[in-house]
Amino acid sequence: MILFAGTSLFAGIDDKKKKKSNKKKSHKTVKKAIVKPVKKDDTTTVVIRDDIFMDSVDSLLMFPSHDLYGNWDTSLIHPYLFDQHFTSDSSVVYLLDDWSCGFSMPNKGAVTSDFGWRRRRPHYGTDIDLETGDTVVAAFDGRVRIAKFNTGGYGNVVVIRHNNGLETVYAHLSKLLVEPGQELTSGTTIGLGGNTGHSYGSHLHFEMRFLGRALDTEDVVDFEKGEVKNAALVLYKEDFTAKYDLRNLHAKNISKSHTTSKQSASGKSSKGKMVTVKTGDTLSKIAKRNKTTISAICKKNGIKQTKVLRPGMKLKL
């Protein structure tokens, strides 16, 4: 278990928020937690723990992965200070632990766009094709942190904090069917798919985040099989710069392609400095072979296009 020094950073904000937004809702959830074991005749530790959590309503203990995040913000989608939170070199996320009801595909549609650089901007999620009105469900057990309209592009968006340490984001929904603070299990309907926010055509934009940083969902989920690839996920801090930081990767790719083009340019000029005329060569053949033009060769060598080439003759390119 990891404890973060960053916890105190959020304490002031959280206290206020808790008083404001969770006091009212706590009655609702307490009721739910009491009803749950009776209704489900469930004796698993989840229920017992829920009851313990409900007794400490004023504590962050009632929120999933409280030890990891140390805050609970129902207004900001990305309130985390990753570097302060991720203090070790690696972290293991037990996707399906003993208490969990497993994993559910948010929607069974086809993947239409992957995590990666897209249209000159980072795409931190996976797009799943659906029709407006199709149901979207929670991937894992957890508690709804955000359920509102976001003007930044997500449109109607739900963010769920999971017991396993991840957060998932479901964007462009046409309808929200949950509210912040609500506890849910994997597979619970959270909203209806749609085309709200920055979206071209109905689809679900689905993100998986750890301490606020997006992962490639396809590292976690096999979208064809509709299941998680492994029960546990090991995340290395360096993955978040080497693998998942799309802006950083894009910048590296650009500088790489610049270096490559520089190299090839210089390679071309060093390779093309001189060429020896072979038997049967013509200016046209040499130009074609070296991806240049007859006039360029003539200009560089101070010769006319009618110049008769001798085998063994050196030409500048």
Residue 304 in contact with residue 310, Cβ under 8 Å? no
Question: Is the CB of 142 or the CB of 155 nearer to Zn ion?
Answer: 155
Q: With respect to Zn ion, which residue has the nearer C-beta, 169 or 283?
A: 169
CB of 40 or CB of 108, closer to Zn ion: 108
Contacts to Zn ion from residues 33-92, by CB under 5 A: none
CA-to-CA separations, 31 to 54, 61, 94, 161, in angstroms, rounded: 10, 18, 29, 21
Least Å distance, CB 203 to Zn ion, is 7
Q: State the minimum distance, in angstroms, from the CB of residue 125 to Zn ion.
A: 5
CA distances from 104 to 3, 71, 101, 219, 292 (A): 29, 26, 9, 16, 58
Q: Is 172 in the site for Zn ion (CB under 5 A)?
A: no
Cβ proximity to Zn ion, 51 vs 245, nearer residue = 245
C-alpha 244/C-alpha 116 separation (Å) is: 8
Nearer to Zn ion, 7 or 195 (CB): 195
From CA 30, how far away is CA 53, in angstroms rounded?
A: 9
Near Zn ion in 182-221, by CB under 5 A: 205
**Residue 106 near Zn ion by CB under 5 A:** no
Asked if 159 contacts 184 with a C-beta cutoff of 8 angstroms, the reply is: no
From the CB of 127, what's the least distance to Zn ion, in Å? 4
Q: What would the two tokens of residue 251 be?
A: 């910048």
Does residue 125 touch Zn ion according to CB under 5 A? Answer: yes
Which of 14, 73, 127, 183 binds Zn ion (CB under 5 A)? It is: 127
* Other Cβ atoms closer than 10 A to 43: 9
Question: Where do contacts with Zn ion occur on this chain (CB under 5 A)?
Answer: 125, 127, 205
